[in-house]
Amino acid sequence: MKTTIDGLQMQVAVAGEGEPILFVHGFPLSSAMWEPTLERLGAGWRAIAPDLRGHGASDAGEEASMPRLGRDLVELLDALGEERPAVIVALSMGGYVALEMARRHPERVRALVLVDTRAEADTAEAAASRRELAERVLAEGSGVVADSMVGKLFAPEARPALLEAWRARMAATPPAGVAAALRGMAERGDSFDTLRGWKKPLLVVVGAEDAITPPDAARRMHAAADGSRLEVVPGAGHLTPVEQPDRFAALLEGFLGSLPRLH
Ligand code: MLT
């Protein structure tokens, strides 16, 4: 379905009945990356899987800072009449957005599942190269990003057909959305204070062969957040829920089953 958030049309898939669980995709992807997880999700959940602004079938705005993307998600929960705090399952850039929600709207977050992501801000060099890449994408198209990222998305043994399918998906993300998200990621801050103050359940998951947000980044998040759990998944790169869907779904199910009841 489509809904209007901050004047932009946002695509969102909503399925099932029960307690809210919000799935936040990575860059430059869409909610399609959660299909293997949604197919395996047990009963008792209202799954909400949006396309972030500028991604998938959602409109792009001028700005896509991480706080703005987090506000979009809070407004989406409001638009869906969802007042209960949601479990947030978020991958990579989705994790940056989830950490913004945890920082600015903690009352809307029941628990966090941070997948293949990191809490560090970009270095000055990384931020500068993202801004340059944003200019190139506007001039040459999203294929520039798709070509540079595709080789790092999966474990080295991944099938070529998988790479080609995901390269095509990334290349289909509109240049305006890709460029705005690149600028938004470049300006994001460090989230370790948020993790240190986080007292609710947190599961950190990372592919053992993640070349974009490697296991050490996940270990640092786990070390910062008291009581968090860390799972390193063999045979997965940066898109663990896509590459190891059964294992990821089992980890998620176990975590969901361990949550304190929603009052
Ligand atoms: C992502 O997968 O969302 C991005 O690669 C994250 C990033 O570039 O920092």
What pLDDT digit, counting tens, does each position of 66-106 carry?
999 999 999 999 999 999 999 999 999 999 999 999 999 99
Q: Measured in angstroms, how far is the CA atom of residue 27 from the centroid of ligand 1?
A: 5
212 lines ligand 1 (CB under 6 A): yes
Using CA positions, which residue lies closest to atom 7 of ligand 1?
93
- Give the dihedral of Cα atoms 57, 59, 65, 70; nearest 10 deg: -60
What are the φ/ψ torsions at residue 205 (nearest 5 degrees)?
-125, 140
pLDDT tens figures, 177-199: 999 999 999 999 999 999 999 99
Q: Measured in angstroms, how far is the CA atom of residue 29 from the centroid of ligand 1?
A: 10
Q: How many whole angstroms separate alpha carbon 77 and alpha carbon 188?
A: 23
pLDDT in the model for residue 262: 80
What mean pLDDT comes out for the span 136-153? 97
93 lines ligand 1 (CB under 6 A): yes
Q: How many whole angstroms separate alpha carbon 228 and alpha carbon 107?
A: 19
Indicate whether 109 pLDDT > 80: yes
**Could you tell me which residues come within 8 angstroms of residue 11 by beta carbon, excluding any fewer than 6 positions away?**
1, 2, 31, 50, 51, 56, 57, 58
185 lines ligand 1 (CB under 6 A): yes
**Which token pair is 189?**
């801050």
Considering only 40-49, 234-243, 254-263, which range has the smallest mean pLDDT?
A: 254-263
Indicate whether 226 pLDDT > 90: yes
- Nearest atom in ligand 1 to 25's CA: 3
Using CA positions, which residue lies closest to atom 4 of ligand 1?
27
Tell me which of 30, 133, 170, 185 to substitute to probe ligand 1's pocket, judged by most ligand atoms within 8 Å of the beta carbon: 185
pLDDT in the model for residue 51: 98
Residue 120, classified by CB atoms within 10 Å of its CB into exposed (0-12), middle (13-18) or buried (19+), is middle
What mean pLDDT comes out for the span 102-124? 98
Q: How many whole angstroms separate alpha carbon 244 and alpha carbon 249?
A: 9
Q: Measured in angstroms, how far is the CA atom of residue 238 from the centroid of ligand 1?
A: 9
Q: Measured in angstroms, how far is the CA atom of residue 93 from the centroid of ligand 1?
A: 5
**Could you tell me which residues come within 8 angstroms of residue 145 by beta carbon, excluding any fewer than 6 positions away?**
28, 133, 137, 170, 173, 178, 182
> In the structure, what pLDDT confidence band is assigned to residue 261 with cuts at 50, 70 and 90?
confident
Indicate whether 250 pLDDT > 90: yes
Indicate whether 263 pLDDT > 90: no
Q: Which long-range contacts (CB under 8 A, 24 or more apart) does 242-250 make?
A: 242/33, 242/36, 242/154, 242/162, 242/166, 243/154, 243/155, 243/158, 243/162, 243/207, 244/207, 245/36, 245/37, 245/39, 245/40, 246/40, 248/36, 248/37, 248/115, 248/205, 249/36, 249/37, 249/40, 249/41
92 lines ligand 1 (CB under 6 A): yes
27 lines ligand 1 (CB under 6 A): yes
Q: Are 102 and 37 in contact (CB under 8 A)?
A: no
- Nearest atom in ligand 1 to 149's CA: 5
